[in-house]
Chains A and B, each alone.
Chain A
Amino acid sequence: QVQLQESGPGLVKPSGTLSLTCAVSGDSISSSIWWNWVRQPPGKGLEWIGQIYHSGSTNYNPSLKSRVTISLDKSKNQFSLKLNSVTAADTAVYYCAGGGVSWGQGTLVTVSS
């Protein structure tokens, strides 16, 4: 059974960079699925951020594309999210997901000074 666990700072200052990591266990990051990031502002719906394949290919939401980078670390079996120039609007629970089947528990990131 695949398990995913997000980690990273829960508080980021405005204009700073949000950095999260998703550790994958029970499967290889090199398996044939896309690894995704999804976020959910408090009390709101789900927003797809982007995804990465083991080849390094990525797809990003155009609404965030200029600020987002998703990368993977095969040696650590994990993948990461970086979001630059954050504002209060980026405050959300951030989820990592393998395909659409396996999800992390989510981590709340608050953007505030």
Chain B
Amino acid sequence: DIQMTQSPSSLSASVGDRVTITCRASQSISNFLNWYQQKPGKAPKLLISAASGLRSGVPSRFSGSGSGTDFTLTISSLQPEDSATYYCQQSYSSPYTFGQGTKLEIK
């Protein structure tokens, strides 16, 4: 199985801050990397697919980059509604494993 490791596990930032979450795969997954946002009591929401493809309707302050084993999710200017847990998931090979999640809190 491909292991996905996110860092940090949690972070606290202020409105307007630039925030970066990283995700590392245990082997190369090309660009087969998705990012999800999950708010309490809700289903995950797909933000970015294929490492950098912003999904329709997702604010442009979200961006993704990377290929191979190292990936990042960046929020350029943090908003209050961005408080959530973020997960990466590899879609390169089954089982399609998730990272352990990064809990983002707004100061």
Q: Chain A interface (Cβ within 8 Å of chain B)? A: 38, 45-48, 51, 59-63, 95, 97, 100-101, 103-106
B interface: dominant SS: loop
Residues of B84-107 at the interface with A, using a CB-CB cut-off of 8 Å, are: 87, 89, 91, 94-101
> With contacts defined as CB atoms under 8 Å apart, how many contacts are there between chain A and chain B in the complex?
48
Find the A residue at minimum CB distance from B55. Answer: A101
With the chains together, A10 CA to B55 CA distance in Å? 33
Residue in A62, A95, A101 whose beta carbon sits within 8 Å of that of B95 in the complex: A62
- Contact, CB under 8 Å: B100 / A45: yes
Find the B residue at minimum CB distance from A48. Answer: B96
**B68 touches A (CB below 8 Å):** no
Find the B residue at minimum CB distance from A95. Answer: B43
- Which residues of A lie under 8 Å from residue B98 when comparing CB positions? 45-48
With the chains together, A98 CA to B76 CA distance in Å? 29
With the chains together, A60 CA to B1 CA distance in Å? 12
- Contact, CB under 8 Å: B34 / A100: yes
Chain B window 13-53, contacts with chain A (Cβ cutoff 8 Å), 1 for yes, 0 for no: 00000000000000000000010101000111110010000
With the chains together, A50 CA to B36 CA distance in Å? 18
Q: Closest approach, in angstroms, between the C-beta of A80 and any C-beta of chain B? A: 18
- Which residues of B lie under 8 Å from residue A97 when comparing CB positions? 43
22 A-B contact pairs sorted by A residue (CB < 8 Å): A38-B44, A45-B99, A45-B101, A46-B36, A46-B44, A46-B87, A46-B89, A46-B98, A48-B89, A48-B95, A48-B96, A51-B94, A59-B94, A59-B95, A61-B95, A62-B1, A62-B95, A95-B43, A100-B89, A101-B46, A101-B55, A103-B44
